[in-house]
Chains A and B, each alone.
Chain A
Amino acid sequence: MIATIDIEFTVNGKPVRISVPPRMTLVDCLRDMLGLTGSHIGCEHGVCGACSVMLDRVPIRSCLMFAVQADGAAVTTVEGLEGPDGKLSPLQEAFWDCHAMQCGYCTPGMLVAAQGLLDENPTPTSAEIREAISSNLCRCTGYQQIVEAIQLAAQRMNEGVDHA
């Protein structure tokens, strides 16, 4: 058997201690060992963004990283976007309102990319939104309703409107 390595990190705010094979990718660890199946796998070569998660608040490709490299980090996945009471985030609400998805496969990664943008830039232009999410592929939507959803979320957050 291949030796495993002990790591400690937080996932969606909860501390995790786990023993992983050194070559296991972060996305496989999240999905197969921690049961967080919201992060998806589309290419495993860093292009599609379906596996996007936040590592210390920055969106990264969890298919391009080994789980052991997350030792000591704070990981947020799509499952961590909801409030602790299960309340949807403004971005999630806006994705639902605008139907910013069809099959939903790219959606978790798209939400992570969009959240990363809004954390940095709460008033993005449509060109800035396109720039930010061009890291993530969606085959269903043609991106139109995704762009509209991110605009709506930004607008609501800036107005302080609660749409739950």
Chain B
Amino acid sequence: MPDDRPAASNYRYISQPRRTKEDKRFITGRGAFVQDVQLAHTKHIALVASPYPRANILSIDTSAALAMDGVLDVITGAELTEHTDRLYHGVDLPNVRWHPLAVDMTRYAGEWVAAVIADSRYIAEDAAELVAVEYEPLDAAIGIERVMEPDAPLVHPDHGSNILLKKKFVWGAVDDDFAAAEHTISYRARWGRSSAVPIETFGVITRWSEKDEVLEVWASIQMPQYQEQIADALRIPLNAVRVHNYIDVGGSYGVKRGIKQTVLSGYAARKLGCPVRLIEDRIDNMSGGDAHGPDRLFDVTLAYNGDGLIRSMKMRVVDDVGAYPGRSIQQLGKPISALCGPYRMSSIEYDVTSVTSNKTSQVAVRGFGQAPTNFALETGVEKIARRLGLDRTEIRRRNFIRHDEFPWKIPSGTAYDSGDYHTVLDKAMRFAGWDALIAQRDAARAEGRLVGLGIATCLEPGGGNNIFEHLLNEKIQITTFVESALLKIDGQGQVTVAISTHTAGQGHQTLAATVAGEELERDPDGIRVVHLDSLEALPTRGPVASRMAIMLGSAVSKAARRLRNRMIHIAAHDLAVADTEVEYADGEFTVRGDPARKRSWLEIVFIAHRQLHRMPPDTEPGLQTIEVHAVPGGGKLPNEKGEVQIYPCFSFQAHIPLVEIDRVTGQVEILDYAVAHDCGTVINPKIVRGMMMGGIGHGIGAALYEKFDYTEDGQLLSGTFLDYLLPSAHEIPDIRDTEHCTPSPLTSHGQKGSGEGGYLGAPAALASAVNDALEPLDISLTELPMRLADIEAALHTHANPVPETAP
């Protein structure tokens, strides 16, 4: 094998295993999280939540709460609705009204009905218990198929149906391909309601500044249109909202949307004239906050030939978005960017239905819908392999797009930038020790143990323009998601990069400093990276969609190259030679072939800032520049066939877990886990590896442990960490990783996205491993999570629990 990371050696800072810029503040307890913000005279919110999933609110008596010492106010939905506008949904739903507090009716158990504001959180919680709400409980709409039945209770009666969106897309000659194919296979797959669940809940502090007439916001946020949506709902202009982006966010992975919380807090802060703090406790968060992820039912039919080649796919998806969809409906849209995964299909039918129910609302989760889709797709690939008696890796190899075929356009019109799936799969298998693992599995099986080897691959679309939104809502005519960088070299020659977003652990300061340092040949440790607040900020859509290496990395690179060229221009003028005669290296500007004639970094800095008389006439004083970067390859709305380039860059991973299932309890133990990833050029290997490992951990949770369970009448059963099981270091094993580098032609250094891949691949891989383990018993499970009890139930209903060999 040739060296797979040739690029690394060409760089000074990029791809080098350097320490990050962010970590020091965290290991010393000096992070600046929202809960750490202390403002004088701050008041605290405690929330009154509905115990009923669906009920009419008959009355709310706040008098006893208001009578308590230290209580300032109790706000109800009726008051808030009078003074603020309804919140935004990702598709047009004029009769699905969403407000921070319930109005007239509650739509899920845990929905916030009133907010108490008091001197301390302790007092606020006491007073919240004194708010007397009279409810008329109603039957709830629960169950992804039940809610679609004509007699199901209506979550939003004015909407007239629990179906919020229904659309069918056909790309390519699906009927012809199905008619021509030798076989078809149909199956159902189910992705359970799990989520991202950061260890820090959402929190926000707002203060209305009378002096500036600006709403100041400190929040634990990850939301592209945050300030816009707050401004709209509070009926103030966008330039009257200042979001402090320096706040460290204690994890998000998509979920920290914070709109309703911020509107509530902002309204209260303005009304009361003091800072108001809303920090969700864990129960507020898991039952009433931005908590739940996709909850999907897939019915898939694949058309394929006897050699295992998949020609076409019909995928029908129903997604239960809970009570208020917000932007979550669009999570059915993003997977369109990679519906066929790494496989060469020639046509696809995609039929999506979004339903509302009396469950806590769905929000964006890592991958924005892609993890369930990949699980559904990989489930089918495995089924075909079994039917044909074909090796599970061989069927993938036969269907993979080949390295020399990129850019490859999939039926829905998106071109994948680059990839080398065969090599990465081979590498993963060699690295994992595939043959030895098979031997280990077979030896264990011979002893009657249930051991299974899993395999799954996944594509990670990165870069995030949101053109898919138009496919689900034609009124949305967005064709790019920009990201900006401001770079300056100050009068002392120090470099500062200003970025326009918040960060939630993805290492954007390290990213920006590494790229700027690489281009300017300055040590990244000395480069400062600041987060501009939203009033100072340049155009941004923020860290979603595995996009910051791609977007911020490319923006910083362009800005830094521009400043470097400007410095060369100043040096050339001062040395009286053409720009092309000057070389820059290691902080010195030297005339080519004449090393004695040179200018130092500091001399050029001094000229630029102070010596107009030595400046080229056409050059702006100082050393600063702004780069606003548009997503590569975007910029067009879908054509009349619904074909469109959605994301620009596509990373790839192959996961190989070995599991053992306890025959009695159904407990799954992961014996080994190997993964190979290819996200192009890696900016910081420690960060990329960490995100992949974390993604796999998250995926292990979704596959084996995590679910927001409901009773049939709509009560949430897993609203605390005691019953919603996040995997600990016990459940997540040592993971062995290797990498490959297929650079993207679309980015500054060949980098692609890397924040989601682990989570996109792991659930499918574990499902594959569990099913491989259960194959001798002829049991096949296609529902996630596959929890201990689910597997135990399958084992016990199985007719023949005695070990047998595979058919």
Contact = CB atoms under 8 A, between A and B. Distances in A.
Interface string B488-526: 000000000000000011110000000000000000000
B41 interface: no
Given A48-B199, A143-B697, A103 B250 contact: yes
Interface in B466-506: 504-506
Contacts of A31: 35-36
Interface string B544-585: 000000000000000000000000000000000000000000
B197 interface: yes
Contacts of A48: 199, 721
Nearest to B252: A103
Contacts of A122: none
B263 interface: no
Contacts of B197: 139
B701 to A, nearest CB: 9
Contacts, number: 183
Main SS at interface, chain B? loop
B730 interface: yes
B256 to A, nearest CB: 11
Interface in B713-745: 720-722, 726, 728-730, 732, 734-735
Interface stretch (A3-11, A39-47, A67-75): A39-47
A111 interface: yes
Contacts of B410: none
Contact of B69 (A1, A77, A104, A147): A1
Which of B19, B38, B199 has the most chain A CB atoms inside 10 A of its CB? B199
A139 B693 contact: no
A64 interface: no
A139 B694 CA distance: 7
Contact of B196 (A40, A98, A126, A139): A139
A85 B248 CA distance: 26
Contacts of A23: 122
Given A38-B28, A142-B697, A103 B729 contact: no
Main SS at interface, chain A? loop
Interface string A104-139: 111110010000000000000010011101111111
B708 interface: no
Contact of B694 (A96, A142, A147): A142
A86 B99 CA distance: 48
Given A88-B27, A96-B23, A97-B19, A103 B721 contact: no
A102 B800 CA distance: 47
A66 B758 CA distance: 40
A144 B734 contact: yes
A37 interface: yes
Which of B201, B253, B698, B721 has the most chain A CB atoms inside 10 A of its CB? B721
Contacts of B633: none
B199 A139 contact: yes
B28 A78 contact: yes
Contact of A41 (B28, B30, B35): B35
B228 interface: no
B505 A104 contact: yes
A137 B721 contact: yes
Given A105-B200, A137-B721, A145-B690, A126 B27 contact: no
B729 A104 contact: no
Contact of A134 (B22, B695, B730): B730
Given A131-B730, A142-B694, A99 B198 contact: no
Contact of B26 (A45, A107, A142): A107
A141 interface: yes
A120 B689 CA distance: 30
Interface of A: 1, 21, 23-24, 31, 35-45, 47-48, 50, 77-79, 81-82, 88, 92, 95-99, 101-108, 111, 126, 129-131, 133-147
17 contacts: A36-B29, A39-B29, A40-B199, A40-B200, A42-B199, A47-B721, A77-B29, A88-B27, A99-B23, A102-B507, A107-B31, A131-B729, A134-B729, A139-B196, A139-B698, A141-B694, A146-B729
Interface of B: 19-20, 22-31, 33, 35-36, 38, 69, 122, 196-201, 248-253, 281-282, 504-507, 686-687, 689-691, 693-698, 700, 720-722, 726, 728-730, 732, 734-735, 758
